[in-house]
Amino acid sequence: MAIVTESFYIPSKVDGLQLSVMTMAPDCAPIGIVQISHGMCEHKERYIPVMEFLASKGFACIIHDHRGHGGSVQSEKDLGYFYQGGEKGLIADVALVGTQMKKKHPGLPFYLLGHSMGSLIARAYLKKLDFTLDGLIISGCPVYVPGCKIGQSIVKFLEVFKGDHGHSKMLDRLSKYKDDGRFANEDSPNAWVCSNPDILAKYDNDPLTQFHFTLSGYQALFKTMEMVYSPKGWNVTKPNLPIWFISGEDDPCMGSEERLLEAIDVLRQAGYDNISYQIYPHMRHEVLNETEKEFVWNDLEEKLMMWNQKITDALSKQLDKE
C-alpha cells in the first residue's frame, strides 16, 4: 500500500501562529483517522515511523508541532515559547488540526493519541470535547506532580523580572525526569527516554529536542497538568469512550503501576468506565520508539481495529432497526 505524505501550515485560531502540520495516509480510502499529540521538547518528525505503520494499515494520520516546538515557531529563539496562546492555545490547536483531517475524511472514526506532555493535552481536550472522539490512547502518562500548583506561582514571580520569554535553570532541573540511578551506567544523559541506541543518539544530537522551555511554556505545562488532574469541570458525554493507557515498566514518568492507576482513576471518577492499560516490561518512556516497538505497534493496530469493528457493528445494528 502506497502512502501519501503532505506537509503544510495552518494558522492557529487563538493567535494566528503558523502551526506546522504533517499528514500520512494510504493512497486508497482510509478506515479511520489517528491524530497524534507529541511530547515536551520534541517534534512531529519523530513520529514518522509509527505514522507510516498506521497508514500502511489503512489509517489517515495527522500530527502538528505544538506551539513552541519544531516548525511551529517564528524563530529558533522561540523554541519553548508558547506565545499568547498558553495552555488554551495547546488545546485549541489540537482541535483545529483534528478538524482539518475530519473535513478531508468525513464520517471516519477519529482517534487521538497523546504522548507524555501530549497526553496531558489530549486529556485536557477530552475534558471538554469527548463527543468528538471515538477512542483515546495515552502513552507515557506523566503522573500528577503536586508541586505544579506552586510552580505556577514561581513562574509568575520570575516573569516579573524575566518576562514570559525568560528561562529558569531551576525549573529546567525540576522538569527533567531523573532515572534514579537505574541507567547510570549508560552513555546518554537521556537514557530514561528509551533503550534504543539509535533513537537515543538522534535524540541527544537533535537541536529540536535539546532546548528548554521558557517561562510561558512552563506556565502552560503546569496549568495543563492541574486542569487534567482536577476533578472539576469534566464534560463527560461519552462515558463508554474507549481509553487505553500504555507505559513502559521502566518509565520514570510513570513512577509505578500504582501511580499510573491513580491517573486512570481520575478519569474513572470523572465518569469514564471503559479504560484499559498495558505496561510493557523492560521498556522506558517512549514505548513507540523502543527496541521492541513492534510489539507496541501491533497492540496499537489491534486496539484500533477492534474499536473500528465495534463502531461498524453498532452502525449495522442501528441500520437494522431502521
pLDDT digits 0-9 by tens, 72-111:
999 999 999 999 999 999 999 999 999 999 999 999 999 9
Would you state the pLDDT for residue 256? 93
Which helix (H) or strand (E) segment is 75 a member of? none
CA-to-CA distance for 106 and 247, rounded, in angstroms?
Answer: 31
Q: Per residue in 29-56, pLDDT tens? A: 999 999 999 999 999 999 999 999 999 9
Q: Strand pairing of 18-26 and 59-64?
A: antiparallel
CA-to-CA distance for 201 and 190, rounded, in angstroms?
Answer: 9
Domain that includes residue 125, residue range = 3-321
Q: Strand pairing of 243-248 and 275-280?
A: parallel
Find where cell 527533567 sits.
Answer: 176
Would you state the pLDDT for residue 179? 56
* 311: region left, alpha or beta (phi > 0 left; psi from -120 to 50 alpha): alpha
User: Angle CA(173)–CA(174)–CA(177) in degrees, nearest 5?
Assistant: 90
CA-to-CA distance for 288 and 109, rounded, in angstroms?
Answer: 22
Ranges of residues in the chain with a pLDDT under 50 are: none
In the chain, the number of structural domains is 1
Would you state the pLDDT for residue 186? 84
Q: The CATH number of the domain where 75 resides is what?
A: 3.40.50.1820
Give the CB-side neighbour count of residue 244, counting CA atoms within 13 A.
19
11 Cβ contact list (under 8 Å, min separation 6): 17, 18, 19
